[in-house]
Structure 1
Amino acid sequence: MKTKQRSLKTEILLRLAIPLIFFIGFESVLSYFVTLHHVDVAYDRWLLDSARSLTQEIKVRNGKIFVELPPAALEIFKWDESDKTYFKIISEEKGMLAGDKFVPEPFDSKTDWTHPVFFDDEMYGEPVRVVSMSITRENTSEKVFVHVAETLNKRRNMMTDILLADLLPQMALVLLAGIYLVAGVKRGLQPLHVLAGEIAQRSSRDLRPISDRHVFLEVRALTDTINDLLARLSAAIAAQQRFIANAAHQLRTPLAGLKLQVERAQREQDLSAMKPALRHIQGCADRMSHLTTQLLVLARSEPVNGDYELRPVDLCKLARETCMDWVPKALQQHMELSFEGSKRAVYVRGDEVLLRELLANLLDNAICYGHAQGNIVVKVKSHPAPRLIVEDDGPGIPEAEMDKVIERFYRIPGSPGDGCGLGLAIVKEIADLHKARLELKRVSAAGGARIDLVFKQAEQ
C-alpha cells in the first residue's frame, strides 16, 4: 500500500490556520453573548420606561384605583414599526384593570417585587420579553401589578447589525491573514527548493559541501547534516578507492610472478627442470588464495556490507577449537601453541565466524613473524570484562609502528615473509564491528607482542 506523502507547506499552514480560526470563532461566540447582553440591557431599559409610563395612568379616587388610558395615549404606547407591545394592569383586589389578559406573568410565587422583574416567554406564538413591576399608590394599601410584553424583532435586528459589523472585518482579516500566511510559508520554504535544485544539478562525483550562506538558521541544521554525510561519504569513497588500488597492486605482484614462472616452465623440456618453476607457481597461487580470502573477510567485516547477526558466543570454546586447528601449522614452524582459559564458559555477543577469523589472523601473524622454537599463548579471561589475549615471544611491534600496523596493506619495513599487510587490519575491523577495544603492547623491552581484545560486557 502506497503511503501518502505529507506536505510541509500544508502542515505549517494547518498549524497556523487552525489556531487562528479557533481564536476567531471563540472571539465571535464571545462577541455574540456580550452583544446579546448589551442589547438586552438597552431594550430592557426601554421596556421598563414603557411600563413606568403606564404606572402614571393609574389613579386613586375616593380610595379606589382606576386606570385612565385615552385611546390617543394607548396608540402612542403601542406604536412601533418593528415590534408589537402588549400590557396588562392588574389590581390585587379588583383583578384585571386594563390591557390584554394573555400577557404572561412571573410563574414564581416567591418573586421579589421590590424591583422590576424581567423574563422571556411566548405570546400568540411569538417569543416576547416581559417586564413586571408592582406599585402602591398613596391613600391606599392595594397593590397594582403592571406587565408589559414586547416581541423581539428590534433586538434581533440590532444583534444582526452588530454581529455583521463585527464579523465582516474579522472575515476580511482572516482572508488577508490567510493570503499572507500562504505567501510567507511559500517564501520561507523557498531556500529548501533552491537547496533541492542545487543538489539535483550536481553530478554523482561532486561531493563538495553545500553552501549555507542564503539559508535560514533552521535550514542550516539540515545543510550541516548533509555536509557531514557528504564528508563521510567522500572519506568512504576515498578509502574504497585506496583499497581497490592497494588490492590491485597486491594481486599484480603474484600474478606477474605466476606468469613469469609459467613462461619459464614452458621453455623447459625436462620435468625435473620444471619443478622449481612449478614450486614457484604453487607459492604464487597460495599467496593469491590467502590474499583473496583476506580480502573477502575484510569486505564481510565492513559494517555497511555485513550481514552478520550478533549472538551469544562462548569465547573459551571458540578460542580452544581455533587453537587446535592451528597446532599443526605451529608444529611445522617448530613453535609451541598453548591455550589458557577457565573451564566455565565466557560469553560475548558476536559473530562466531568473524571471531574465528580474527583469532586465525592473530595466530597466523604470530606464527609467521615469531622465532623458531618460540611460544605462542592464547588466553581468555572473564574479569573485569571478557578479554581475548594472544601473546608471543617474537620480535614484537616497535612502539613507533603501533598505530600504523592496523592500516590496510601496511607492513613494517624489513618484515620477513610475504604477507600482504591485511591481518591486523582485519582484526581491527572485526573488533570495531563487535564494539571491542583492541590493544597492542610489547611483552617486554626485549621483544614479544601481546594483543588484547577487550569486550565491553559479558552476555550470559
Structure 2
Amino acid sequence: MTRPSLRRTFGLWLALSLAALIPLAAAMIYVLVLTPALDSLDRSLTDTAVALSQIVEDHGGQISLPISEQTAKALSADLIDQTVFAVADPAGHVLGGSAELAAQAPATLAAGQWLFFDGSMQGRPMRVAAFGYRCAQDGRVCPVLVAETMGKRTAALRAAVLAAAVGALALALPLALLALLAVNRVLRPLQRASDAIGRLSVRQLRPIDAGSMPGEVAGFVQSLNALLARLRDAAGAQRAFVADAAHQLRTPWAIVRVEASELLASEHPAALQPALERLHLAAERGSRLAQQLLSLARTEGAALEARPMPQRVDLRRLAADSANQWLAPALQAGQDLGFDLEPAAVDGYPVLLDELIGNLIHNAIEHAGRGAKVTVRTRTLEERGAELSVEDDGPGVPADERESLWRRFHRGRGAAGSGSGLGLAIVADIARLHGATAAIETTAAGSGFTVRIRFSTPDRPAPPESAVAP
C-alpha cells in the first residue's frame, strides 16, 4: 500500500492549478496581442476609405468620383494583400471600383458610420470596411467600401498564437520551478524534524529544537518534546529505582560476603565447607551484580541526560591504575594478567571508561579459566584514534554466539564462572556513549577471546601529560 505523500499532494494540486491557469494566461495573451493588431489593420482600411470619400464630388445633385487610373492604383497598392475599393451613389449605382464589392454594402449606413465585416470576392475571404459619407447637399449618404485579402491578418493570427504559446511556456516553466522550490522549502522543516526523530533512540531522548520550525510544525514538535520529556521522566524513575535498589543491596551483600569469608577462615566443621564456599560465591556474585546494576543505571543516565563536556583521558593510565584492583583476583583464579600499554588519549568520561576496563578484565578472569593468560593493551591508531583491547587465550566463544553476548543477562553456552551476563552489555553501552565501536574476535581455530574497543578522536595535538585526566 502506497503511503500518502505531502510532496505528491502539493505537487498534484500545484499541477492542477497550473493546468487551469496556464491556458487562461495563454488565451489572455492571445487576445491582448491579436486585438490591437486587427484594430490597426482595420484602421489602415479607414485611411483608404477617407481618402476615397474626399474625391467624391456633388455637381447639382449629380454625384461623381473623378479618379484617375494612377490614383486608383495608388489606393490599391499593397505589398502583401490585394486591396479593392468601391464607391456608390445614394441610389446604389457604382461610381468607381468593384461592383462585386459595392453589392456587399450594408443596406442602411448612416452618415459618418463605420462598419467592419468579413466578406468575400471571387471566393476569397476579404476584410471589408464600410463608411457612410454625406456626399449630397441634401444629406444623402454614399457608401464607401475598402476590402483587402486576409494575408496580414493571418500573419497577425500566427504571431498571436506564437506569442501566446511562448508566453505561456515562459510563465509555466518558472512557475513550475518556483512551485517545486516552494514545496521543498515548505517540507524542509518537516524533513529536519523527521531526521531528528530518526536519530532518537531509547538511549537518546533529547528534545528536538523547535526554534527554527514554522508555526504549523512547531506545535507538533512541541507536543513530541512533551512526550519525550514524559518518556525521559519514566526512564529516569526506572533508572533511579534500579540504582536505589542496587545501592541498598550493596550493604547487605557486602556483610554476607565478609561474614562468609570470616566463617571460611575460622574453624568450622568439615561438613560445612561446601555450604560456606557456595555462600561466599553467592555473596561475591550478588555484590558484583549490584555493582553492575549501579554501573548500568549510571551509563543509561549519562546517555539520556545532559552531560558535562568530556575530558581528555589517557587510557594507558586508566588501565595501569586498574592493575592493583585486578591482579589479586587474577592470581586467585590462577591466571597471568599482563599489560601492554602505549599512550592512547581519548575524549570521554573517566569514571565510565574505568568501569568499561574493569568489566572487560573481570569478564576475561571470570571465563578464561585457570592457567589462562589475560593481556590488556592500549595503543594509538594511525588513522587518528585509539584502541583498547583485552584478550585471553581461553576456550573462546562460537562464532554464532558472539553478537548475542552484547545483550543484557545473556551468557554463552557452557560459559565458565558465575557471571550475570551484564558485563559486555555495560561495555557496549559505554562504548556507544563515547562514539566507539566494540567488536569480539577469536582465533581461526575458535579459541581465545578478544574484545576490541576503537575510539575516534578529534584531529588535534595531544595535550601535555598534566592535562590528561586519569
Length-normalised TM-score, structure 2: 0.43
